[in-house]
Chain A
Amino acid sequence: METLAMHISNGIIDGPVAAVFAVIALAAMAYCVMRGRQDLDDRLAPMAGLVAAFLFAVQMLNFPIFTAGVSGHLLGGALAAMLVGPWVGALCVAVVLVVQALVFGDGGVAMLGLNITNMAVIGIAVAYLLIALLLRVLPRSPAGLAVTAFVAALVSVVVAAMGFVLQYQLGGTTDLGGNLAGLAGTMAVSHLFIGIGEGLITATTVVTVAKVRPDLVYALRALKPVASATAPTVGGVR
């Protein structure tokens, strides 16, 4: 098999910009550890390990997209945010990226900050904001859950891709002659299609887990429907 690079490789973004994003990523992950500890109890910790392992597996599954000769794969932000929450979810994505960079030669080690910022910080933040919003306005049904997962995944992938375009504007190593719009365009179109795949995988996985073990879906536990805030819950009746 030839080179299989899924993340930003060395040399694509210059050193100083990569270093700045390394600091940003490190600070963001430290904050996620602080906030995530509140969520991480004896039950969530192994579940979060499983989510990270699952993300690693599904990221290997490049699927063909509409554009000929181009593939896509899961980034996993929306899936992780749904299952284990935004703070622990961001840490799951970051662990996957670190393992991929250090052991599998995928994504430069010097570029880790850029990759973590795009996928673990931007991807998760956008996904969770949408999840929090949509779960409150959509009906509490498998369909509502599926739509939430699909939309959060799709949008977060496209925005994460734009994170790279911003980084390229700041420290890209090839002078595109002011043609950054071209790069933004190809990134946006390809990731729109990748986002559809990501949305389908995320919705399928989340609905499946919600069917088997609804208590293991963080978003369903943390974001109670508005109605239950006023009316007593099932447990409260007893």
Chain B
Amino acid sequence: MKKWGFLAGGLLVALLLASVVSNFASSHPDGLDSSLREGCTFDANDEITGGSCPAQQEREHEVGGPFADYGIAGLDNDFLSTGLSGALGVLLTFAVAGGAFWLVRRREPAAGNDTGAERTDPAATSGG
């Protein structure tokens, strides 16, 4: 019970961070991106206007998709677009990672499972 409380609380914090706080994140390029842009000049639309830098070699993403760049395609409201895609990402990551970890988790050896089953059976009968 206590475990699920922590899990639910943690998930709620993650959802709030990704859907609300994310809208106040800095929009400047990050450390990697800015290092790769060193040597080039950019216009207001972030297009390269001159110079020479590693970022010029950047190619299109293979997938893109409706949630590319942490938004929702076709949704004009930036706040909603970022917030909803962030919430979706948190839930999706939790589902994929949690599901995969649950599938590969260490099961108790067969003997342990048997005793576990035997233990619950008498309890169920005595209760009924």
B126 at the interface (CB under 8 A from A): no
Task: State the interface size on chain B (CB cutoff 8 A).
Answer: 69
Q: Tell me, in angstroms, the Cα distance from A71 to B28 when the chains sit together.
A: 5
Q: Tell me, in angstroms, the Cα distance from A168 to B45 when the chains sit together.
A: 27
Listed stretches A6-14, A131-139, A223-231; interface member: A6-14
Residues of A contacting B11 with CB < 8 Å?
50, 53
Listed stretches A20-28, A33-41, A148-156; interface member: A33-41
Task: Determine if B56 and A6 form an interchain contact, defined as CB atoms under 8 angstroms apart.
Answer: no
Extra contacts besides A2-B45, A62-B30, A108-B61 (13): CB < 8 Å: A1-B78, A4-B69, A4-B70, A9-B61, A41-B105, A45-B101, A48-B97, A49-B98, A56-B18, A61-B21, A61-B22, A62-B25, A173-B57
**16 A/B residue pairs, CB under 8 Å, sorted by A:** A1-B78, A2-B27, A2-B69, A9-B58, A48-B98, A50-B14, A53-B94, A56-B89, A61-B21, A64-B28, A71-B29, A103-B67, A109-B61, A109-B63, A186-B34, A213-B2
Residues of B near any A CB (own CB < 8 A): 2-3, 6-7, 10-11, 13-15, 17-18, 21-22, 25-36, 38, 45-46, 52-65, 67-71, 78, 81-82, 85-86, 89-102, 104-106
